[in-house]
Amino acid sequence: MKKISLVLMIILVVFSLILVGCQKTTDGPTSSPLEIGEDTATAETPTLEDKGVEETQIEESPKLEVKEEVKPVEPAIEEGVVEVSMIAKKWEFIPAEIKVKKGDKVKLTISSEDVDHGIALAAFDINVKFKPGETKTVEFVADKVGTYTFSCNVFCGEGHGGMKGKLIVE
């Protein structure tokens, strides 16, 4: 029993020494610092003037502000069908106003550019939801004269409540 204890003690000591010997020390710098003596050569950095190049002053151009103007889009009419392509993005529909005539068959193709959106137009029983990059098409007959509001039916952020548009049936 004493021999086993002695052997275990020796193995433990040897193992401890191996672990201590394998550890990395970071007490000081691992490389010697660079020393520059008096005999070190120095070179002057050439400037543009030495090369015969003149300095040019660059003026800042005024900052331009670009405002995107959204105009109502005239729908494409093809053999009794009014086709409208619409984009839903950041609290707006583009176009936000659609004009058709009573009796027109309306084919509305709509997609989202940013987040989940939808469109609800209760007067014509439209209630569609779509994801970014997804395109949905709805068709209906504009059989009632009037101005109808359509809106986003999926909460899409702080401006969701103002995401509306108009369908004008003449």
For residue range 114-170, list pLDDT tens digits in order: 999 999 999 999 999 999 989 999 999 999 999 999 999 998 888 888 899 999 999
| Dihedral class, residue 98 (left if φ above 0, else alpha if ψ from -120 to 50, else beta) | beta
* Residue ranges covered by each domain of the chain: 76-169
133 token code pair? 């990059």
* CATH code 2.60.40.420 for 76-169: yes
Q: Would you say the pTM of this structure is higher than 0.85?
A: no
Spatial separation of the C-alpha atoms in residues 76 and 23, rounded to whole Å: 77
